[in-house]
Amino acid sequence: MIVAARLNNAELIQDIVNEDKADIVAVGRGLIADPELITKIENGDLENIRYCIACNQGCIDRVLGGMHAHCLVNPVAGEEESRKLSKIDSDKTIAVIGGGPAGLQAAITAKDRGYNVNLYTNEDLGGKLKTVAVPPEKESFLIFLDYLENQVNKRNIPVIKKEVKNFEDIEGDAVIIATGSIQNVPPIPGIDNKNVVYADYTEVLTMPKLFVIVSNFLRLSKILRHSFSEKNSPFPINLRYS
Ligand SMILES: Cc1cc2nc3c(=O)[nH]c(=O)nc-3n(C[C@H](O)[C@H](O)[C@H](O)COP(=O)(O)O)c2cc1C
Ligand code: SF4
């Protein structure tokens, strides 16, 4: 018997193996997220596992769109040849501005390459990861935030809490600005109206009774299935496909 699907937890995998609950444990996305998953389990190195958060955004979404798989939590996945990280011998300091996922990952990567790193943030670490974790069943995004924070701490990267307004506010020879992504807004008449909000769940919850989601079908069905099922929706949902 083969057991499969969303086995993204070391204790669960160990339990199945140790208790002989299946003949084969099949792990798919867990190995895209962290190719060393099994080695880390074998070595008891559980706190350094980069778990798949079952978002499907980097892997299945892309494959369905005719592209090869990437991974939301593993920046090297699918680009192993072109993104080989060489070590450098440098006494230079990189200032990373922004404590969201991009800033945290940039700090980790720069440190691993051999730079000194200062990470600047004007708020608690996490950025948009904390927002996307709000809808029901999306808490798994916080697993990634835990991982990133843990990796930053392990490398003793200073996290400096201040609002950076100009270069005098930071210490570094080069700067990586990771202060957040910008929405891709389609040119739809009326999209600038005050009653239109973007896909920020905390904003959506404050909306009046009816709203329209503009999305590709896969993302739309995912949002509806995970967040706004008929049972728990705070408002009626009207669907129009095109
Ligand atoms: C990039 C990618 C492509 C996939 N393509 C297929 C497919 O063509 N057919 C299929 O049955 N499952 C497909 N799957 C689903 C895997 O079979 C599934 O991930 C597997 O059950 C393991 O579960 P896990 O990824 O949660 O460990 C795909 C998964 C990924 C990540
Ligand atoms: S993109 Fe998301 S679902 Fe796919 S392997 Fe990475 S973390 Fe898992």
Q: For 157-182, how does the pLDDT look when each residue is reduced to its tens digit (9 = 90+)?
A: 999 999 999 999 999 999 999 998 77
**10 and 51 share a domain?**
yes
Q: Domain count for the chain, please give it.
A: 3
Any idea what the CATH number is for the domain that residue 107 is in?
3.40.50.720
> Looking at the DSSP assignment, which residues form a beta bridge with residue 3?
25
Q: Where are the beta strands (DSSP E) in the chain?
A: 2-4, 24-26, 93-97, 116-121, 159-161, 174-177
Cβ of 21 closer than 6 Å to ligand 1, yes or no, is no
Sequence-ordered list of residues with C-beta below 8 angstroms from that of 87, at least 6 positions apart, any chain: 113, 114
Is 51 part of any domain? yes
- Count Cα atoms within 13 angstroms, Cβ side, for 134: 14
CA distance 30 to 39: 12
pTM higher than 0.95: no
Nearest CA to ligand 2 atom 7: 52
**50 and 126 share a domain?**
no
**171 and 193 share a domain?**
no
Which residue, 64, 80, 104, sits at the end of a domain? 64
Q: Which residues constitute the domain of residue 167?
A: 93-177
127 CA to centre of ligand 1 in angstroms: 29
User: What are the structure tokens assigned to 182, written together?
Assistant: 């910008």
**197 and 211 share a domain?**
yes
89 CA to centre of ligand 2 in angstroms: 33
Cβ of 7 closer than 6 Å to ligand 2, yes or no, is no
pLDDT in tens, the chain (242 residues): 999 999 989 999 999 999 999 999 999 999 999 999 999 999 999 999 999 999 999 999 999 999 999 999 999 999 999 999 899 999 999 999 999 999 999 999 999 999 999 999 999 999 989 888 877 778 899 999 999 999 999 999 999 999 999 999 999 999 999 998 777 788 888 888 877 766 555 555 555 555 555 555 555 555 555 555 555 555 555 555 43
**171 and 190 share a domain?**
no
Is 81 part of any domain? no
